[in-house]
Amino acid sequence: MFAILPAAAQQPRALEVMAADAALPLDLAYGDTTVVMGVQRVEVSWASPAGGRVPAYLWLPGGAGPHPALILQHGMPGSRDTFGGLAREYAMAGAVVLVPGASFARPDPPYRETTFFTLPLYDPRDGDEVIQTVMDLRRGVDLLRGRADVDPDRIAVIGASWGGWVGALLAGVEDRVLAYGLLVAPTSL
């Protein structure tokens, strides 16, 4: 695991490309709520700045808070279901946990099946999907900071594999996150 602390972004162009206008409404929608081992898992979605909706699970601990918060970003292939057990454990420990689906793993178009075992290994859509996911994660930070049960100064991001790579990019443009945990983050995608 490689952990980094965010620094002020040095790339104005990156800030522009991966900007997510916090003034735009999130258009937050709530779905089913399930209780798992004493914590709630709520289906949520919000409008992506690049189009479509971001499906996610929001895991809620007991108590009023304010709680620390964590965004868990899955790898490729994967989905918002990938980190169910880990998200539950963090919620049981007292954190609000947001687990969004990456742009390639959404039910609305342009969904595509992803695997490392098909060719070509690089798809021209990859760059757009990475940028969209960074923008969506920035809106996920907005979502968490807007919740009364979240301490806005204690938000962290953990990304694994592809999610770690996207987390590293997020760290370059998002200074409202306290810490990043990047697990097995590839650097040559």
Q: What DSSP assignment string belongs to 138-159?
A: HHHHHHHHT-TTEEEEEEEEEE
- Residue 52 to residues 46, 91, 102, Cα–Cα distance (Å): 9, 28, 12
> What is the pTM for the complete model shown?
0.83
Higher-pLDDT residue of 98, 76: 98
- Return mean pLDDT, the chain: 81
Domain ranges for the chain? 2-183
The bridge status of strand 96-100 relative to strand 150-160 is unpaired
Predicted local distance difference test score (pLDDT) of residue 119: 46
Residue 188: pLDDT band (50, 70, 90) is low
> Is 86 within 8 Å of 170 (Cβ atoms)?
no
Lowest mean pLDDT across 53-67, 85-99, 143-157, 161-175: 161-175
Higher-pLDDT residue of 127, 68: 68
Buried b (16+ CB within 10 A) or exposed e, 126-158: eeebbbbbbbbbbbbbbbbeebeebbeebbbbb
Q: For residue 17, what are its two tokens?
A: 């490309």
Nearest alpha-carbon partner for 52 in 98, 124, 126, 105? 105
- Does the pLDDT at position 151 exceed 60? yes
Higher-pLDDT residue of 48, 32: 32
Average pLDDT of the segment spanning 29-37 = 94
Average pLDDT of the segment spanning 67-76 = 90
Angle at CA 149, nearest 5°, toward 148 and 155? Answer: 100
Average pLDDT of the segment spanning 116-144 = 76
Residue type, 141: V
Predicted local distance difference test score (pLDDT) of residue 66: 97
Q: For residue 144, what are its two tokens?
A: 């968490």
Query: Which residues, 6+ apart, have CB-to-CB distance to 10 below 8 Å?
Result: 172
Q: Which CATH number describes the domain made up of 2-183? A: 3.40.50.1820
Higher-pLDDT residue of 185, 176: 176
- Does the pLDDT at position 132 exceed 90? no
Predicted local distance difference test score (pLDDT) of residue 95: 97
